[in-house]
Amino acid sequence: MLKFFVDLLSQASILVALFTMVGLILLKKPANEIIAGSMKSLIGFILLGAGANVITSSLAPFGSMVEAAFNVQGVVPNNEAIVSLALTKYGTQVSLVMILSMVFHLIIARFTPLKFIFLTGHHIFYMGVMITVIFAVAGITGIQLVILSSLVNALAMSLSPILTYWAMPKVIGDSSSNVALGHFSNVTYGISALIGKLIGGKSSSVEDLKLPKGLSFMRDNILAIALTMSIIYIVVAIAAGSEYIESELSNGQNFLVFSLIQGVTFAAGVSVVLQGVRMILGEIIPAFKGISEKLVPNAIPSLDCPIVFPYAPNAVLIGFIMSFIGGLVGLAILGITGGILIIPGVVPHFFCGATAGVFGNATGGKRGCFIGAFINGILLTFLPLLLLPILGDLGFQNTTFSDADFVAVGGIIGFICNLIK
C-alpha cells in the first residue's frame, strides 16, 4: 500500500490531475467538466513527459559523441543515477518522506504567506532522496530522520519558487497570470533573470530576430530547432568519427543519417512538450481558482520548467546551446586547474539552460538570454563539486545531483550537520 501511494505521488501527471479535479469539485462544476478537465490536464502532462523522453533519448547519443570527440571522462551529474543508488539503502525512509513532505508542504501553504503548491512530482522525490541521504550520513536515524527530512523537503518546495516568481509576469507577458516555477534549479534561473535585468538595457528579445527572405521558413520555431540541432549533431558526429558512432551508437546506420534523424527527433520532442504545456495551462489555471477559494487561499501552482518554453521558443534553443558551451568552458577550466572533471550532462543543460535562457531573455533580451544561459552552464559545472564531499561517504564518486537547488539545499544541510557534529 505504501508503494502505491509513493508511486502515485511521484507522478507529476497524477498530482496535477488530482489538483485539477479537486479545484473543479470545489468550484462545483458538473461531473462531465470535472472528468474532462482532470483528463485533459493528465493527458497534457503525459504529453509533456513523452516529449521530454523523446528529447532525452535523442540527447543521449549526443552526450556520448561529445565524450568521444573530446576524449574526456569524469563525474557526470545525473539526478536519476544518484537517486537509484540511494534508494538501494534508503528506499523505505524516502517513501515515507515523499508522502509526509507533501502534507507539510500543504500545511505551509495553508497557514503561511508561502502559497506555492509545488507540483513537479519527480523533483519532490529527488530532493527528498538527497535530504534523507545527507541527514543519514550525519547520523540521524529512525523517525527523526523521516520527520526532519520531510520538513526540510517541504520548506524547499515552498521557498524555491520565490526565486523566480518575481520574473514570471515578464516571462508570460501577463501580470494577471498567477503561475510559478516548480523546478529545483530556480537558483540559476533567478540568477539568469537578475543578469538580464542588470545588463539587458534596451536589448531586444531573441524572439524578434529578423531573418532574410530566403530563411523565412525559420520563423517556424520547430523547423528552426530541427535544422539547428541537426547541424550541431552532424558537426559533433564528424568530430567523434564515423567508426565510433556506427559501431557504438547507430547499430551500423550511416553516422550522418543517424545524426540528422536525432536532430529532427529532438525537435519533434520539443513540439510534443509545447502541446502538452498548452493543455495543462488551459485546465489547471481555472481549477486553481477553486483550490484558492476553499483549501489554500490564493494558492499558486508551481509547475515544471517546460511550462515557460512556449513563451520564448528561440530562447529555449539559444539557452541550451549557450549553457552547454558554458559547461564545456567550465570543464576546460577544471582540466587546466587539475580539479575533478564535471562532464556536462546534455539533458540538464537542455532543460536548465533553455529555462535560464527564457528568464534571461524576459528581463534582458538578447544579452540576458546569451549571458544568463552561459552563466547557468558555468554554475552547472562548478556547483555540483560542492556536493561531492557530502555524498562521497556513500560511494557516489561518479555521479552527483545536477540542478542548482539541490546543491544549495544540500550544501546548507551539510554545513549545519558539520557544525553540530
pLDDT digits (tens, 9 = 90+) for 347-376: 788 889 999 999 999 999 999 999 999 999
Question: Residues in the chain, how many?
Answer: 421
Grid cell at residue 221: 520555431
What is d(CA 400, CA 80) in angstroms, rounded to the nearest whole number?
9
- Any residues with CB less than 8 A from the CB of 212 and at least 6 apart, and which? none
357 near 193, Cβ under 8 Å? no
373 near 181, Cβ under 8 Å? no
Q: What is the pLDDT of residue 399?
A: 64
Q: What is the pLDDT of residue 190?
A: 97
Q: What is the pLDDT of residue 272?
A: 85
Compute φ and ψ for 11, nearest 5 degrees: -95, 110
For the chain, give percent helix, strand, coil, nearest 5: 80, 5, 20
What is d(CA 67, CA 407) in angstroms, rounded to the nearest whole number?
24
Q: What is the pLDDT of residue 289?
A: 65
What is d(CA 360, CA 365) in angstroms, rounded to the nearest whole number?
7
Q: What is the pLDDT of residue 84?
A: 64
Q: What is the pLDDT of residue 395?
A: 45
Angle between helices 12-26 and 121-137 (to 10 degrees): 120
pLDDT digits (tens, 9 = 90+) for 388-415: 777 655 445 556 778 899 989 988 988 8
Determine the Cα angle at 138 with ends 126 and 334, to 5°: 65
What is d(CA 198, CA 220) in angstroms, rounded to the nearest whole number?
31
Least Cα distance to 301 among 190, 161, 141 occurs for 161
What is d(CA 24, CA 34) in angstroms, rounded to the nearest whole number?
6
What is d(CA 210, CA 34) in angstroms, rounded to the nearest whole number?
44
Residues paired with 342 in a beta bridge: 75
Residues paired with 214 in a beta bridge: none
- Any residues with CB less than 8 A from the CB of 124 and at least 6 apart, and which? 9, 10, 98, 101, 102, 118, 153, 157
pTM of this prediction?
0.80
Q: Sheet harboring 116-118: ordered strands across?
A: 116-118, 300-303, 180-181
Determine the Cα angle at 16 with ends 18 and 153, to 5°: 100
What is d(CA 292, CA 219) in angstroms, rounded to the nearest whole number?
39
Please list the alpha-helical segments (H only) found in 221-254.
Answer: 221-240, 242-248
- Helices vs. strands in the chain: H and E counts, helices first: 16, 3
Please give the chain's pLDDT, 421 residues, in tens: 666 766 776 666 777 788 788 888 888 888 898 888 888 888 887 887 788 788 778 877 877 887 787 776 667 676 766 676 676 677 778 778 877 888 899 899 999 999 999 988 778 888 988 898 888 888 888 899 999 999 999 999 999 999 999 999 999 887 666 889 999 999 999 999 999 999 987 788 888 877 565 555 555 667 777 887 888 889 888 988 888 999 888 888 999 999 999 888 988 888 887 788 777 767 776 776 677 667 788 889 898 898 999 899 889 989 989 999 999 899 889 888 877 778 787 778 888 999 999 999 999 999 999 999 999 999 999 988 888 777 655 445 556 778 899 989 988 988 887 777 6
User: Within 13 Å, how many C-alpha atoms sit on residue 7's CB side?
Assistant: 4
pLDDT digits (tens, 9 = 90+) for 208-263: 877 565 555 555 667 777 887 888 889 888 988 888 999 888 888 999 999 999 88
Residues paired with 116 in a beta bridge: 300
